[in-house]
Chain A
């Protein structure tokens, strides 16, 4: 068991949801890990990559590689950013380039937070307590690129006081989609509202996910609709006592 893990908090958690990063660090420490935060970290490059700016994305990805090249484990509180690194860095660098090879070395060490707990640390019960009815939103990249589906649910079921209810549209996109959300606001907002209907039908008061960007989208839609729903990152729920 590695005693030490490095965390890549992602730019959105760093700038918008620092509490998610703090919660993740806390849960990891409680699980017995020494947590390291490398201050030179910034972003994975996904915003540029997904919008078609490969050159700019490549530069940012190169920076990520330089910062984390010698880390043993890099834990990420986002399925989407983790997948950018483990899947799409390979689309950025030509096969045989040093950065491609470095990505080959790095990719297996970059692990989404819930997967790190269930598959590396092998803990389902982190000793959390949270009172309330919760529904879990499958973020698309975690679900379809990383194949993360059961792990987060297993962790949630072990939380004392928490009741997990499935929504019918758990696997449907929240509508965020990065720059899609501002290029096509009506469509993005409409997708969020469809999701809201499905969430409301469960009677849950809190929506949990492993991606802060989805939660930002959903919270924005809930607030605009005046829906009495809260969004929480899985790390926040697991850090609750």
Chain B
């Protein structure tokens, strides 16, 4: 069994839940459509050229990553900031906890970051009584609901305004409202206090810019700007792979990111931050740290083919394009990353044995690769991971029946006469009572009608036709 029965059951429940299906299908359809308009050749004639360039720049950066890490570090320090290296999530948390303790910080604010989601940073901090408040509207709702983000760019896409009203009513003092506008204003008021009181602001980074020692953060709400401006300390947490060589490379990436994610030419705010506030500057944090995290990334780096998984700029376009994501939603994917990119990244970070079903949860339709702004060949990586799962199971057990079946297939398909004979027998057996209730036929028949093999195969018909000529 690739999948635990409870996981299977959970997926079935999602597919059968009309409320979730409608919410996710319509939201992804909308994002998909906006992306298509934004990258259409009339709107952006150089789109394909930009994709190729983005791919090349990412490839180059990762192939020379040690050089860019050094350059980045030197430039951050030249601007008065500090770079911290963390091998895993625990080391990220340890650094933040240590600094908070030293500075007497009890509460910090966070802007949206998939990287901190990946390492369950909030739980780690809260375990040590350091309050971490999510400030992106969607993330705030998710945090109050004790839920997990559903989508890389739209974390609360599975919730209705009524759900949000319930969550706010339970957690906040404000009067209940089901109007999104008013709900957003409730969040604004409550979070404004947090921004102004927080001792540390934690952000992610969309890009780490080596020649500037800068982090680049894109967002729409202004919460990332507040997180990185209001508290006296700013800590950016980022995976090593977020590196790009030069600020001007952003001319390529920024044109792709907003368009691919939400169809925006640029998101409302793009912050380019390097170091703490300088001499004559009126505001901004007095301390600036960048935590560079490995957490499995260097393992991916070692595989020249699968390394491209690290090119991802987290636009979410592959989720919106993926018919599987649109059916099973975000929560059925283990780990922080859902959709096609999650299906290739999670097994590589955590090892293929943990959730061996993930690379198989795809019809290999290729819609993900088609929309990927950095041209990650997701289907190819899925196929490679499938191969690894099969090889792993051959050694560590599991999948015996399937393995034998494919061995038989490989044997039979090289013996045309036997294959023809087996076909004739199968066509008869498939018509026996009860045949539809075994194995793959039963699985097939659980959701759609079975098409029986023809009584007379093509080769038999062809032979007759040739004889009668």
Contacts and interface: CB of A to CB of B under 8 A. Distances in A.
A94 B198 CA distance: 57
Interface in A126-185: 140-141, 144-145, 171-173, 175-185
A42 B324 contact: no
Interface stretch (A99-107, A111-119, A199-207, A213-221): A213-221
* Contact residues of B: prevailing secondary structure: helix
B316 to A, nearest CB: 18
Contacts of A57: 410
Given A177-B364, A185-B447, A56 B406 contact: yes
Given A191-B327, A220-B450, A224-B447, A53 B406 contact: yes
A56 B383 contact: no
A56 B11 contact: no
Contacts of B389: 52
Interface in B388-411: 388-391, 402-403, 406-407, 409-411
Interface residues of B, number: 66
Nearest to A40: B416
Contacts of A185: 443-444, 446-447
Nearest to B21: A190
A173 B367 contact: yes
A187 B427 CA distance: 28
A220 B451 CA distance: 7
B327 A190 contact: yes
A188 B63 CA distance: 38
Contacts of A194: 25, 323, 326-327
Contacts of B369: 144
A15 B448 contact: no
A48 B410 contact: yes
Interface stretch (B207-215, B249-257, B454-462): B454-462
A16 B451 contact: yes
Given A185-B446, A187-B15, A220-B451, A50 B409 contact: no
- In this complex, the member of B2, B327, B383 whose beta carbon has the largest number of chain A beta carbons within 10 angstroms is B327
Interface residues of A, number: 68
B90 interface: no
B367 A39 contact: no
* Contact residues of A: prevailing secondary structure: helix
B361 A145 contact: no
Interface string B431-468: 00000000010011011111111101111111101000
Contact of B449 (A40, A49, A223): A223
B2 to A, nearest CB: 7
A13 interface: yes
Contact of B11 (A144, A178, A187): A187
A50 to B, nearest CB: 6
A91 B448 contact: no
B342 to A, nearest CB: 15
A141 B366 contact: yes
A74 to B, nearest CB: 15
B30 interface: no
Contacts of B412: 42
A124 B189 CA distance: 65
A13 B416 CA distance: 15
A213 to B, nearest CB: 10
A91 B383 contact: yes
Nearest to A21: B458
B367 to A, nearest CB: 7
Nearest to A231: B451
B363 A59 contact: no
Interface in A31-75: 37, 39-43, 45, 47-57, 59-60, 62-63
Interface string A207-241: 00000000011011101100000000000000000
A182 B443 contact: yes
Nearest to A177: B363
Contact of B419 (A42, A45, A48, A177): A42
B406 A191 contact: no
Contacts of B462: 21-22, 25, 37
Contacts of B416: 39-42
Given A140-B367, A176-B363, A194-B323, A43 B413 contact: yes
Contacts of B323: 172-173, 175, 191, 194
B377 to A, nearest CB: 11
Contacts of B407: 56
B461 A18 contact: yes
B468 to A, nearest CB: 13
B215 to A, nearest CB: 35
Contacts of B386: 50-52
Contacts of B2: 183
A53 B390 contact: yes
A48 B448 CA distance: 23
A49 B451 CA distance: 23
B365 interface: yes
Given A14-B459, A173-B323, A180-B364, A42 B413 contact: yes
15 contacts: A11-B413, A16-B453, A18-B460, A21-B462, A37-B458, A45-B413, A52-B390, A62-B414, A140-B363, A177-B364, A182-B440, A182-B444, A183-B360, A184-B360, A217-B448
Given A15-B458, A60-B413, A185-B443, 19 more contacts: A13-B458, A14-B459, A16-B454, A22-B461, A47-B409, A53-B406, A53-B410, A91-B383, A140-B364, A173-B363, A173-B365, A177-B364, A181-B444, A182-B443, A184-B360, A186-B11, A190-B15, A216-B451, A220-B444
Interface of B: 2, 11-12, 15-16, 25, 323-324, 326-328, 357, 360-367, 369-370, 380, 383, 386-391, 402-403, 406-407, 409-414, 416, 419, 423, 426-427, 440, 443-444, 446-454, 456-463, 465
Interface of A: 9, 11, 13-19, 21-22, 25, 37, 39-43, 45, 47-57, 59-60, 62-63, 91, 140-141, 144-145, 171-173, 175-192, 194, 216-217, 219-221, 223-224
